[in-house]
Structure 1
Amino acid sequence: MATILSVSGSPSRTSRTSRLLRHVDARLTAHGHDVVPLEARELPAEALLHADFAHPAIVRLAELFERADGVVIGTPVYKAAYSGLLKTLLDVLPQHALRGKSVLPLATGGSTAHVLAVDYALRPVLSSMGAEHISRGWFVLDRDIAVRDDGSTEVERETDVLLHPVVDAFAAALDRHTAPLVAG
């Protein structure tokens, strides 16, 4: 079993990105992994904006990344790039905070015009932070994520069917990555 940090870089309290991440978290939990959700918007803004590395929340953030075997990074796409909140969060982490980790980048947006943001905006940053394995990222249209009457999340069926192999491949990569640690 691996520990996965699931990070939402959305500033919105009604975030479709966060809903998608919690949906993915459930699938990763079904694979036997321990998932720790993190909402970047709940971090103290002043500590993030002033890069207060000694702030207890920033110290805890760095510790969460350090302890994780894998990281799911979710972001809404604004102006063809990942969110400024996610950028600020990544900026306060140590340069190689993703060293040795498997990472799954996910993005949401209103138009397929933003689909390349995962590969051309987010992937290079994750790579520069030392990610050992970056799974094929995935983009989901906002309209394919809905809130049911009971408050739960519904991902449009066809989208969900396409998302499953992406999440499963990440889980398998994480299993391969952590297997020597379990066996040794």
Structure 2
Amino acid sequence: MAHVLSISGSPSTTSRTTALLRHLDARLTAHGHRVVPLDVRTLPAEALLGADPRHPAVAAAAGLVEAADGIVVGTPVYKAAYSGLLKSLLDLLPQHALAGKVVLPLATGGSTAHVLAIDYALRPVLTSMGAAQITPGWFTLDRDITVREDGTVAVAEPAADALAQVTDQFSVALGGRAALSAASA
């Protein structure tokens, strides 16, 4: 069983990005992983905007990153890039905070014009932070994500199948990392 940190970089309280992540968290939990959600928007703005890595909330978030075997990073796409909120957190983490981690990048947005944001905006920063393996990510159109009144999420086809596939690939990659971590302990 791997320890997964699921990070939402959305600033919205009614975020489809966050809802999608929590939907995928349930799939990862069903695969036997322990998943901890982190919504960056819940961190104190003064710590993020003031670039204070010693703030207790930021230090706690950094501790969650350090303790994780794998990290799911989800972000809405704004102007062909990941959210500024996510960037604020990533900037406060140590340079090699993702060393030894398996990472699954996910993005949501209103237009297919932003599909390449994962590969051209998010993946380079994850690589620069030392991610051991970045599994194939997925961009999901906002219109393909429905949050029902009871809080459950429905994802339209074919996005649902693609998300299941990338989540399962991430889970398989985590299995290998978890086995290596257990063997070295």
Amino acid corresponding to residue 160 of structure 2 in structure 1: D
Q: Identify unmatched segments of 5+ residues in structure 1.
A: none
Structure 2: how far apart are the matches of 1:31 and 1:139?
22
Q: Give the match for residue 80 of structure 1.
A: 80
Q: Give the match for residue 47 of structure 1.
A: 47
Q: Could you give the per-residue CA deviations for residues 122-180 of structure 1, whole angstroms, max 9, x where no partner exists?
A: 00000000000000110000001012132211111321112111100000001011112
1:112 aligns with 2:112: yes
Q: Give the match for residue 163 of structure 2.
A: 163
Q: Give the match for residue 134 of structure 1.
A: 134
**RMSD of aligned C-alpha atoms?**
0.9
- Which sits farther off after the overlay, 48-57 or 63-72? 48-57
Amino acid corresponding to residue 82 of structure 1 in structure 2: Y
TM-score computed with the length of structure 1 as normaliser: 0.97
Runs of 4+ in 1 over 3 A off after TM superposition: none
Structure 1: how far apart are the matches of 2:108 and 2:63?
27
Q: Could you give the per-residue CA deviations for residues 78-97 of structure 1, whole angstroms, max 9, x where no partner exists?
A: 00000000000100101110
Give SS of 1:82's match: coil
Structure 1: how far apart are the matches of 2:9 and 2:142?
15
Aligned residues: 184
TM-score computed with the length of structure 2 as normaliser: 0.97
1:26 aligns with 2:26: yes
Q: Identify unmatched segments of 5+ residues in structure 2.
A: none
Q: Give the match for residue 57 of structure 1.
A: 57
Contact 2:17 2:76 in 1 (8 A): yes
Q: Give the match for residue 4 of structure 1.
A: 4
Structure 1: how far apart are the matches of 2:71 and 2:40?
14
Identity %: 67
1:36 aligns with 2:36: yes
Q: Give the match for residue 89 of structure 2.
A: 89
Q: Give the match for residue 13 of structure 2.
A: 13
Amino acid corresponding to residue 68 of structure 1 in structure 2: A
Structure 1: how far apart are the matches of 2:144 and 2:78?
18
Structure 1: how far apart are the matches of 2:40 and 2:28?
20
